[in-house]
Structure formats: C-alpha cells, structure tokens
Amino acid sequence: MSSEEAKALRDELADQARALQTAVDAVDAAAAERLGVNRTDLACLDVLMQRGSAAPTELGAALKLTTGSVTTMLDRLVRTGYVTRAPDPADRRKAVIQPTEQARRRLLEIYGPLAEEGRRMIDRYSVDEVKLLLDFMRASREAQEHHMARIRG
C-alpha cells in the first residue's frame, strides 16, 4: 500500500470516528425525546442502569453536577416515574436512587435492539481483531476524557 493510500485510509477512519460520535449523539437525543427527558436526565438513567443504584452525591460526581442540580434532576425523574428515591438502609440521612421497572423497560425498548446489533457486529471479528478494536476504543475514550478536562480547565 502506498503512503497516499495509507493516509487516505487513516483519514477515512478519523472521519468515520467523528461520524460515529455524531450518530451516537443523535440516537441519545432521540432517546431522550422519546422518554420525555433532557440529556442530563438520560445520562443519569444510564449511570443508574450501569450501577443499579447510586447515592445523589455519586450521581453528582459521575455527571459533574452541583448538589442543587442533582436535586432538581432527581425531582424531575421521580415525577416521570423513572427513578425512586428511598432512605439508605445503612444511614437514613442519605438516599439511594434506583431506576424503576418502567425506566428499565423503556430503556431496553430503545437501546436493546442497538445493543443486540452491536453484539452481532462484534461477533464477526476474531479475538485478535476485537483486542485491536478494544485498544482503539479505550484510547479514544481516554483521549475524550483528557480533552474534556482540558476544556473545562
């Protein structure tokens, strides 16, 4: 392969990575609209789906939100029926936030088919190719996190 062809291939990969980022953003915007929530609320639901439950302070740290913003967000999500807020059994001064069954069902309706298609795509690759893709994804995520911190100062 010539150096020009290699450069064109690398440029195409960079273009596709950017297009993927735009597509993921569009899917999340459509999901938030379908659920009747904003993007921060959707991000909160994602954290809760990954963790199962979280304290408000944990959500604030994960989402980079102030205490007041977390309270407002949780009030909205409780009203929509997507989360429950209950006293922490270990310390009743604290709260435990969990996604409701309604939230789990609706998120699975939206993201389940995408996850299944993603799994089928991954299954097409050899173990060595998956390792390469995993390396690229980790490095890409780390770069995004680094530059988020840089931009925020």
Is residue 55 within 8 Å of residue 97, measured between CB atoms? yes
What pLDDT, on the 0 to 100 scale, is given for residue 89? 86
pTM: 0.87
CATH of domain 36-99: 1.10.10.10
* H or E element in which residue 87 lies: strand 83-88
Per-residue pLDDT of 75-123, as tens digits, reads 999 999 999 999 988 888 889 999 999 999 999 999 999 999 999 999 9
Is residue 74 within 8 Å of residue 97, measured between CB atoms? yes
The residues spanned by each domain of the chain are 1-35, 36-99, 101-153
Overall average pLDDT of the 17-44 stretch: 96
Torsion of CA 15, 134, 31, 79, to 10 degrees: -140
Among 99, 107, 104, 97, residue whose Cα is nearest residue 60: 97
Q: Is the pLDDT of residue 4 over 90?
A: yes
